Amino acid sequence: MKTTTNPIIRGFNPDPSILRVGDDYYIATSTFEWFPGVQIFHSTDLVNWELINRPLKRVSQLDMRGIPDSCGVWAPCLSYKDGLFYLVFSNVKSFDGPWKDTPNYIVTTDDIYGDWSDPSFISSAGFDGSLFHDDDGKSYYMSMLMDHTEPDFFGGIVLQEIDLSTMTLLGEMKHITSGTELGCTEGPHIYKKDGFYYLILAEGGTEYGHAVSMLRSESIFGKYEVHPENPVFTARFNSAHPLQKAGHGDLVETPTGDWYAVFLVGRPLEERGRCILGRETAIEEVIWKDGWPYPVEQREPRISIPSLQLKPEQMNGNHSKLVEFNADELDIDFQSLRVPASEDWCSLKDRPGFLRLYGRESLTSTHLQSLIARRVQDFNVEVTTRMEFNPTNFQELAGLTFYYNTAHFFYLNVRGKKHREGKELVIISSDYYSSKEHENKIDVSGYESILLRGILDREELSFYYSVDEGSTFHQIGNSFDASILSDDYVQGSSGRYKAAFTGCFVGICCQDLSQNRQHADFEWFHYKEL
């Protein structure tokens, strides 16, 4: 029997919102500080998913300059009504203090592949905004309620009618549930079936206690009763299960009447360990019994599930790709940090056949970094790039980085020498802003081009270089513990970060800490899953 392997969308792709329009399925996932905002995937069989668009492409839609790490775009919600797609998203501005600034917006389009509207502000009462379109023509906006008077700030779920023609909320905000005993109630979505309103929730916190909860009511405003065997999906009771953190789910019905749930999961390196790939998207089949949705077999998401809609080729199997920078636009796998990859600093035109990055601020900046990167989607990868760079002083750097956030990264770079001519290859690592320059430095003066390579073998990261166009690669320095590039380490080890929700990226960058104009040229970027 053919099977579908979880996760179906690998690498940092959390908070899936799923939508079916006709025979087409779409999933939207969170992007946090990475620009453009929101990833939208398309499928016709629920197995093979293709990234088709990132709708928040303009600063007028998404202004993230200066936001803290792991803020920005949280928990998008896709819906469809009368020929229009609706996308709700939060653009979180602050999260670590006693107050949380969580404005929510809606954008629309009649072409999910095309451009989306400028945003309409809806509410800052909480995050995880969602729309429900009832069969009587009314629409409702809901979110979790941010309650700064409570220690854990989770104030339950609120709901309010919305006029979609003016994007204004109508009437009073109604508090419809405080959730279940699992707590940390967020991620609401509503469905209507057989006279009941079903409310799905993310609960237990988005770590190892995470869960998908289900409630129902005969009135959209409640009272909501809890599923008799809640939570519906979770791995909180089985620490050895390979798919952990199951939660923040959404439901979809197929044209044939079958039901599926999608939700985020994490794959730890060891039992309840660190998840360097971030939170990913998984799928499970749902059956209905006695008016409630249940898993087909178990609460824990299965690694392999039977599929009746498989195609011969599985797109979620291997993401290896050689990107040659000779196209008119940047490959869709790449994103930048907080601001658009605009021609003034990220140019495919200034030197045809190369991507030219003009150096700007450091890897610790939350404003103007010159970095493009893609998700790491497998535990074993080899990433290589060819770079030409001629720095004039030690404040000019460019190279290859494995990156989690402004405080956690490993950076193999070429820079100018201090107080003398020439350039050298050096590794810089950062762990909670404790930056370390490693002793192994290689003189690469006189070499026009250099190949930079990083090999990730689960938690072990090693760097290599070649000055003979790849005929010979030499390791530089010792191997590093790449497991620090994970939510679990960043949030768990020091308690410094309350918001740590992304995953490991790998990319190329350039810094000019003096004049902000020195450039580096990259001819290609090869991401290879081993």
Q: Which residues contact 89 (CB under 8 A, 6 or more apart)?
A: 37, 38, 56, 73, 74, 75, 76, 77, 104, 105, 107, 129
**How many Å apart are CA 118 and CA 65, to the nearest integer?**
17
Point out which residues pair with 260 in neighbouring strands: 252, 285
Q: Which of 15, 207, 431, 512 is catalytic?
A: 15
Q: Which of 69, 128, 186, 431 is catalytic?
A: 186
Q: How far is CA 298 from CA 33, 247, 253, 265, in A?
A: 35, 14, 20, 15
H or E segment to which residue 489 belongs: helix 487-492
**How many Å apart are CA 159 and CA 143, to the nearest integer?**
7
**Is residue 186 among the annotated active site residues?**
yes
Q: With contact defined as beta carbons under 8 Å apart, do 86 and 75 qualify?
A: no
**How many Å apart are CA 23 and CA 239, to the nearest integer?**
37
Amino acid in the structure at residue 332: I
Amino acid in the structure at residue 78: L
**How many Å apart are CA 260 and CA 128, to the nearest integer?**
21
| Cβ neighbour number for residue 353 with a 10 Å cutoff | 11
Burial 307-344 (b: 16+ CB within 10 A, else e): beebeeeebbeebeeebebeeeebeebbbbbbbebeee
Q: With contact defined as beta carbons under 8 Å apart, do 247 and 210 qualify?
A: yes
Tokens 């994490």 sit at which residue? Answer: 266
| Cβ neighbour number for residue 151 with a 10 Å cutoff | 7
**How many Å apart are CA 25 and CA 33, to the nearest integer?**
26
User: Is residue 41 packed enough to be buried (19+ CB in 10 Å), middle (13-18) or exposed (0-12)?
Assistant: buried
The alpha-helical segments, DSSP class H, found in 287-410 are none
H or E segment to which residue 488 belongs: helix 487-492
Helix and strand element counts for the chain (H, E): 1, 40
Tokens 């497991």 sit at which residue? Answer: 483
**Is residue 331 among the annotated active site residues?**
no
User: Is residue 57 packed enough to be buried (19+ CB in 10 Å), middle (13-18) or exposed (0-12)?
Assistant: middle
3-state secondary structure of 453: strand
Q: Which residues contact 155 (CB under 8 A, 6 or more apart)?
A: 126, 144, 145, 146, 147, 175, 178
| Cβ neighbour number for residue 240 with a 10 Å cutoff | 9
**How many Å apart are CA 118 and CA 107, to the nearest integer?**
6
Annotated catalytic residues are: 15, 186
